[in-house]
Amino acid sequence: MSYRTTAIDTDKMPPGIPYIIGNEAAERFSFYGMRAVLVMFMAQYLHLMDKVPGHAMSNPEAVERYHLFASFVYFTPLLGALLADIFFGKYNTILWLSIVYCLGHAALACMGSFGFSGWWLFAGLGLICLGAGGIKSCVSAHVGDQFGKSNHHLITRIYNWFYFSINFGSFFSTMLTPTLLAKYGPHWAFGVPGVLMAIATFMFWMGRNKFVHIPAGGWKFVEESFSREGLIALGKLIPLFALISVFWSLYDQTGSSWVLQATSLDLKPFSFLDWTVQASAVQAINPILILIYIPLFTLVIYPWMNRIFRLTPLRKIGCGLFLMAAAFGIVTLTQTWIDGGQRPSIHWQLLAYYVITASEVMVAIVGLEFAYTQAPKTMKSWVMGLFWLSVFGGNQFTAQVNHYIAIPSASQKQFDVATAALPADMQTSPRNIVLPGYDGVVGTDDDIIARSKQGALDSIEIPGRQTYLDAAAKIETQSGVKFPSKEEGAALLSGMKDQWGNSFRYDVIDSSTARIASAGPTRQDHTEWEMGLMIERPKPKEDHPWLDKRKQELGVTEAPMVAGFAHTEFCGGQSKLEGAAYFRFFTLLVLGTAVLFIPFAMLYRPKSYLQDDVESEEHPGPDAVAH
């Protein structure tokens, strides 16, 4: 069957647009719904999915894997762009990779049913990376392909609506999916987004006769990419994408480090919601704000700014980078209060969301449109792929930072070696195992006692533990409504040392958790042999229906309470960069990027291309988008 290959000569919206918008809303529901629960699932649920519980991921591990996944979702757009531009065209590439996308959701829904859940997670996320990423550059370019000379002035409006549909879908999924996870478990939480992805694929197929189908460029794409004009276009855009990658490094932390920070905030403003969705409701403020900000910026803010100075797309992006620095400055300030043992209101993080969403409007939406208009005709999908590669770079950077700061656990390593040496029928039976400690010899004064349940490490007793418990008692006796400050705690523990002669280090993690640690046998801080214990205040009982039931089935118990406090001993497994220092690092990173962006924007010379233009001169193009 033949399809239209050129845009309809009309000054109205193309007929295929409703199918694209509906498809995008359903697809984004599926993606953001799955992503909204991914960090919490990996940290709290994944190790309990199989018949034998495994080792729970630490927060830095979960954040690292989250950003590795997010990065590869935005690496595969390059593959999708090549398939579309050289071989199959955008429509066919989107349709077939959407089916791969559906299979990825199905794999996630299979976790805990049969086989090893870790492998199902890996397979599911891998297929979603291929499917979601593969269609990414094609969908955004497919939108632009529907427009010709008569209605190209509507491109800005449709990209705004395109982004509107993304946030419309993500708002509802961000509210619904965490509730499904908490009350009904991972099968429903990952299965429902899969059903929505299937609906999105069907909607896209229904619009096949309404779309403009731009044929694949074949090797003409390669010729144009390596032509003088193509190389100039790429040479101008690649530095832009590199700078924008820093924006994505910070922005996508709203689904990782910001979620973890929200667990330490006062969520009373969201008390009208079931507690299971309170933390997710914080994330949902972003799509709500997008729905408000798009018309606000289009009709009010951009025209007002344009009266002050000529508002080009690059100037919008530059302003957005400075706004990102302000948003992370707010969460850094909030974290300093948490580090001091306070429980600040969630309103402070909401304020950061107001600012970061404005940054998103000025960087993400404008950058997407600008990339499309600056791409030569046969390179549209390829350039869209390079734009999304900036998201890959940003998330890879965040993942590598979290990998570097995560300290491995020496006790976990020794436990894994010890249990692997046991006969298979003994590995899952409850037992205490003596680990050799730093000197590698059992029977010396640095042995570690490991307690196992169902083959997993349940808790440990560190050498010289009584000294740590004595130090904890000093802190607990001075703990009223909150823990002593870091300075007060250091004074209380002054003169106390571990069995290797190291002084104790005291830190307040949040209003309910403090930590006492020492350098351990290596006499160096922040190594896998650093030892200590966490002190936790009793927390109100939280209702995790599915998770509580699963723990009962597996016999998993919580840390015992000691005089109103829970003690958890550790050997390694902490972080080199945490609290306010972590957020401050990223704040300074984006602030430096914003400053560097200024000379780049001043030197850049835009040149725009449309599908049915022979070539547009250095026309206002995206500058006309200044409204």
Closest CA to 82 of 130, 138, 128, 126: 138
Output the pTM of the full model.
Answer: 0.80
N-term to C-term CA, the chain: 40
SS3 78: helix
| CA-to-CA separations, 611 to 3, 137, 141, in angstroms, rounded | 17, 16, 11
Q: Going edge to edge, which strands form the sheet with 448-453?
A: 431-435, 448-453, 456-461
How many whole angstroms separate alpha carbon 356 and alpha carbon 227?
Answer: 39
- Where in the chain are all domains bearing CATH 1.20.1250.20? 17-406+579-626
Residue count of the chain, please give it. Answer: 627
Query: Is pLDDT at 623 greater than 60 in this prediction?
Result: no
pLDDT at 163: 67
* One-letter amino acid of 350: L
Are 216 and 378 in contact, with CB atoms under 8 Å apart? Answer: no
The HSE-up count of residue 14 (CA atoms within 13 Å, CB side) is 32
How many whole angstroms separate alpha carbon 352 and alpha carbon 347?
Answer: 9
Measured from the Cβ of residue 377, the count of other Cβ atoms closer than 10 Å reads 18
The DSSP bridge pattern shows strands 531-536 and 565-571 to be antiparallel
Are 250 and 324 in contact, with CB atoms under 8 Å apart? Answer: yes
Instruction: Average the pLDDT over 84-92 and give the result.
Output: 82
Closest CA to 506 of 481, 474, 461: 474
291 or 395: which leads in pLDDT: 395
Tokens read off for 527? 């190594």
Closest CA to 325 of 234, 416, 390, 249: 249
Instruction: Average the pLDDT over 421-433 and give the result.
Output: 74
How do residues 532-564 score in pLDDT, each as one tens digit? 999 998 765 556 788 778 877 777 766 555 557
To the nearest 10 degrees (0 to 180), the angle between helices 155-184 and 278-296 is: 170
How many whole angstroms separate alpha carbon 233 and alpha carbon 225?
Answer: 9
- Give the gyration radius of the chain's Cα atoms: 27
Q: What is the mean pLDDT of the chain?
A: 83
SS3 content of the chain, % helix, strand, coil (to 5): 65, 10, 30
How many whole angstroms separate alpha carbon 168 and alpha carbon 172?
Answer: 7
* One-letter amino acid of 616: S
- Is 17-406+579-626 in CATH node 3.40.640.10? no
How do residues 142-198 score in pLDDT, each as one tens digit? 777 777 777 777 776 776 677 677 777 777 787 788 888 888 888 888 888 888 888
How many whole angstroms separate alpha carbon 194 and alpha carbon 187?
Answer: 10
How many whole angstroms separate alpha carbon 185 and alpha carbon 194?
Answer: 15
How many whole angstroms separate alpha carbon 346 and alpha carbon 432?
Answer: 42
Instruction: Average the pLDDT over 310-337 and give the result.
Output: 95
How do residues 38-62 score in pLDDT, each as one tens digit? 888 898 888 888 887 777 787 778 8
Instruction: Average the pLDDT over 338-362 and give the result.
Output: 93
Closest CA to 346 of 283, 292, 276: 283
Q: Name, in order, each residue with C-beta under 8 angstroms of 168's C-beta and a sequence gap of 6 or more.
A: 25, 28, 287, 291
DSSP secondary structure code for residue 216 in this structure: P
| CA-to-CA separations, 156 to 148, 153, 400, in angstroms, rounded | 13, 7, 35
Q: Name, in order, each residue with C-beta under 8 angstroms of 346's C-beta and a sequence gap of 6 or more.
A: 262, 265, 266, 267, 268, 269, 270, 282
Q: Name, in order, each residue with C-beta under 8 angstroms of 394's C-beta and a sequence gap of 6 or more.
A: 71, 244, 245, 246, 247, 248, 249, 250, 251, 252
Tokens read off for 241? 């994408």
Instruction: Average the pLDDT over 82-89 and give the result.
Output: 81
Note the maximum CA span of the chain.
Answer: 85
The pLDDT-based confidence of 125 (bands split at 50, 70, 90) is very high
241 or 537: which leads in pLDDT: 241
The DSSP line for 111-164 is: TTTSS-HHHHHHHHHHHHHHHHHHHHHHHHHHHHHT--TTTGGGHHHHHHHHHH
Closest CA to 348 of 101, 70, 583, 170: 583
Q: What percent of the chain has pLDDT above 90?
A: 36
- Provide the β-strand partners of residue 566: 536, 561
How do residues 253-285 score in pLDDT, each as one tens digit? 988 889 888 888 887 766 655 544 565 567 778
